[in-house]
């Protein structure tokens, strides 16, 4: 009788072993998927957050009110202020801001790239926030160009409200309460709130 039960017990053991193996495989696969998904979210969040911080920092550099003498074109600084024409001043200022804008443009391109994956993971609102950052960039560039045009005209009225707004857009710190600074800070805060939990979760 015992010998007759041996094949039956053997079958049960094999079935149990197969079920155990299948359970372990499914559990392992699900765990791998969860870890892989978590890593994908972490990588995307880290890349996008780094990109928005780079944009923010480069906005600050462009908008710095301090124009160092080394930033101006060769020959301009050696001229006495009375020897500089309105055109000289305008060309010199554009030279400074054009060079300052180049790293910001690079940072904006990197942000646009990161936003593609960000939209896939977090939805269209991420893309919309990216448009707002682009809007802040476009406003800054317009204000720089308009201010340079005022330099060409000899800055007829530096106290004109429009000119003052141009200056405010072009030369302000992160802590400033002007409209453009608020726009930039609002975009940064949005991405921080969205992405920081994913970065912290992986780091812990």
Percent of the chain with pLDDT over 70: 77
Give the 3-state DSSP-derived string for 133-199, with helices as H, strands as E and coil as C: HHHHHHHHHHHHHHHHHHHHCCCCCCCCHHHHHHHHHHCCCCCCCCHHHHHHHHHHHHHHHHHHHHH
How far apart (Å, rounded) are the C-alpha atoms in residues 163 and 58? 23
How far apart (Å, rounded) are the C-alpha atoms in residues 60 and 170? 10
Mean pLDDT, to the nearest integer, of 172-188? Answer: 88
How far apart (Å, rounded) are the C-alpha atoms in residues 69 and 61? 15
Mean pLDDT, to the nearest integer, of 10-35? Answer: 47
Q: 43 Cβ partners below 8 Å, 6+ apart?
A: none
Regarding pTM above 0.85, the answer is no
For residues 178 and 172, is the Cβ–Cβ distance under 8 A?
Answer: yes
pLDDT digits (tens, 9 = 90+) for 80-136: 777 888 888 889 999 999 999 999 999 999 999 999 999 999 999 999 999 999 999
How far apart (Å, rounded) are the C-alpha atoms in residues 25 and 33? 12
pLDDT of residue 159: 67
Closest CA to 185 of 15, 56, 49, 39: 56
User: Residue 16's pLDDT band (boundaries 50, 70, 90)?
Assistant: low
199 pLDDT higher than 80: yes
pLDDT digits (tens, 9 = 90+) for 123-176: 999 999 999 999 999 999 999 999 898 887 776 566 677 778 888 899 887 678
Q: What is the DSSP letter of 79?
A: S
What value does the mean pLDDT of the chain take? 82
24 pLDDT higher than 60: no
Cα first-last separation, the chain: 59
């Amino acid at each position: 009788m015992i010998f007759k039960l041996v094949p039956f017990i053997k079958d049960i053991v094999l079935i149990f072993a197969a079920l155990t193996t299948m359970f372990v495989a499914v559990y392992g696969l699900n765990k791998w998927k969860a870890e892989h998904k978590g890593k994908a979210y972490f990588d995307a969040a880290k890349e996008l957050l780094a990109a928005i911080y780079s944009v923010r920092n480069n906005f600050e550099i462009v908008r710095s009110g301090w124009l160092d003498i080394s930033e101006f074109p060769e020959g301009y600084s050696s001229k006495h202020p009375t020897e500089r024409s309105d055109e000289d001043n305008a060309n010199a200022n554009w030279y400074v801001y054009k060079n300052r804008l180049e790293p910001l443009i690079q940072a904006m391109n990197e942000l646009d790239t990161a936003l593609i994956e960000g939209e896939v993971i977090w939805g269209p609102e991420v893309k919309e926030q990216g448009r707002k950052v682009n809007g802040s960039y476009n406003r800054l560039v317009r204000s720089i160009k308009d201010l340079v045009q005022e330099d060409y005209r000899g800055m007829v009225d530096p106290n004109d409200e429009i000119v003052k707004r141009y200056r405010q857009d072009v030369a302000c710190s992160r802590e400033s309460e002007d409209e453009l600074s608020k726009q930039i800070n609002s975009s940064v805060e949005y991405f921080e709130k969205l992405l920081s939990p994913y970065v912290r979760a992986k780091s812990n």
